Amino acid sequence: MMKMLRQQLIDTAIEMNASGLNQGSSGNLSVRCEGGFLITPSGMDYAGLSTDDIVWMDTDGKSSGPRKPSSEWRFHASIYQHHPESGAVLHAHPVSCSTLACLGKSIPAFHYMVAIAGGRNIRCADYATFGSRELSENVIRALRDRKACLMAHHGLTCYEKNLSRVLALAIEVEHLATVYGRVLTIGEADILSDEEMARVLKKFASYGLQDV
C-alpha cells in the first residue's frame, strides 16, 4: 500500500542524513497519506530500510505493520491534526539548532529569512521528555502560526506541504541557526522591526516559493 510514497519517505530520510542535518537514526520523518500518515520506524538505520519497514499510523496513534513507529510519533500526529496544510513533518537534532535549543533560545528576526518559518521569530518549545504527550503539547504551542520550531535541550521540528519542501525548510532553519550563533559570538544581534518583517511575510506569501 502506497509503495511509492513509502520509498519517497526513505529517500528523503537518507537525504536528510546526507545533508548533515541529522546523525544516525535520532531524527524521524513522516508524510501524510490517506487515513493518516507514514512514519520512519524506531531505531533503524535509514539506508537499510525497505518500504515494508515504514509504519502507517492514524492521527489517534493506531499503527499497523511489522515495525514500531518512531518514539516521537505523538507530535507528528498532533501536527497533522492541528495544521491541515501540513503534508510532511521532519524532526532532527542538527548541531546549530540543537545548540541554540540547549540555551533555550528562540531565533529572532536577526535576518529576513526567519520569515520562511511563517512569522517574525522561530520559537523554542519548552523542554519535556522525548516521546511524551507534554512534549507534543509544547511543540504544538511553539508552532502556532509557524512551520518550524526549536525544542529545548533537544533539536528541531518543522512541517511543510511535502517531503522535498520540509527538507529544504529544515536546511534553511539550520543555516539561520548557524549564522545566529555566530552573530552572538561577535555581538548583540540587531533585530528587524515587526513592520519590516510584516512586509517580508507579505512578499513571501505573494511570491510563493518554488517547489524544489
Of 200, 21, 199, nearest in space to 93 by CA: 21
Measured CA to CA, the distance from residue 106 to residue 97 in angstroms comes to 10
Facing residues of 30 across strands? 39, 89
Q: Is 72 tagged catalytic?
A: yes
SS3 69: strand
Q: % helix / strand / coil in the chain, to the nearest 5?
A: 45, 15, 40
Residue with cell 515504514: 54
Please compute, for residue 199, the number of CA atoms within 13 A of its CA located in the half-sphere on the CB side.
Answer: 6
* Alpha helix stretches (DSSP H) within 83-132: 95-102
Residue with cell 555581538: 187
Largest CA distance in the chain: 53
- Choosing from 15, 34, 72, 134, which is the catalytic residue? 72
Name the residues annotated as catalytic: 72
